[in-house]
Amino acid sequence: MAEQQATPGGGAKTKKFMFVNRKAPYGTIYALESLEVVLIAATFDQDVSLVFIDDGVYELTRGQQTKDIGIKNFSPSYRALEGYDVEKLYVDRHSLEQRGLGEKDLLVPVKVLDTEAMAELMEQQDVVLSF
C-alpha cells in the first residue's frame, strides 16, 4: 500500500546503501551521526550495510563505560540494529589486527572481511556514505 509513497523521483526500488565508519566513537561526533543516519535509512526499507574500517572498529568494542566522561554511551545501539533489520555488519580484518583486537572484543556479531572482499563489497553498492 505504501510502497509508492514518499519516493521522490518515482523509484520504489530498494537501493544498496553502505555506511563507511572510520572514526573512533567519542573523540568526534562522526560515529554517533552515522548511527542516526543508518536508522533513518533502515526506516525507508533500504538494503543497508555497515562497514567498520580504521578507527571505526573501535566503535564496536565491548565494555564501553562513559559515565566519567559525561557523554552518552551509544554502543548498545549497535545491538539494537538487528531490530531494524540492519544485520549486515562488516569489519576490516587489517584494521582490527593493527589495533590488537579480535572478534571476541566486539559487542555484536560481525563478518570480518579481508581487503579484497571489502573492496568488492564497496564496489557492489548503489550509495556509499562516509563517516
Partner 1 sequence: MLHIVNKSPFQSSALESCLRLAKDGSALLLIEDGVYAATAASATEARIRQACARLKVYALRPDMDARGVAAKVAEGVTLIDYAGFVDLAAEHPTSQSWL
Q: Is there a contact between 17 and 126 (Cβ–Cβ < 8 Å)?
A: yes
Residues within window 87-116 making contact with partner 1, judged by CB under 8 A: 98-100, 105
Ramachandran quadrant class, 104 (left: phi over 0; alpha: psi -120 to 50; beta: rest): alpha
User: Does the footprint of partner 1 cover residue 66 (CB under 8 A)?
Assistant: yes
Q: Which three cell numbers stand for residue 76?
A: 548498545
CB 101 → partner 1: shortest distance, Å? 8
What backbone phi and psi angles, to 5 degrees, belong to 89?
-115, 125
CB 76 → partner 1: shortest distance, Å? 12
List of residues contacting partner 1 (CB under 8 A): 23-27, 54-55, 58, 61-69, 71, 73, 75, 98-100, 105
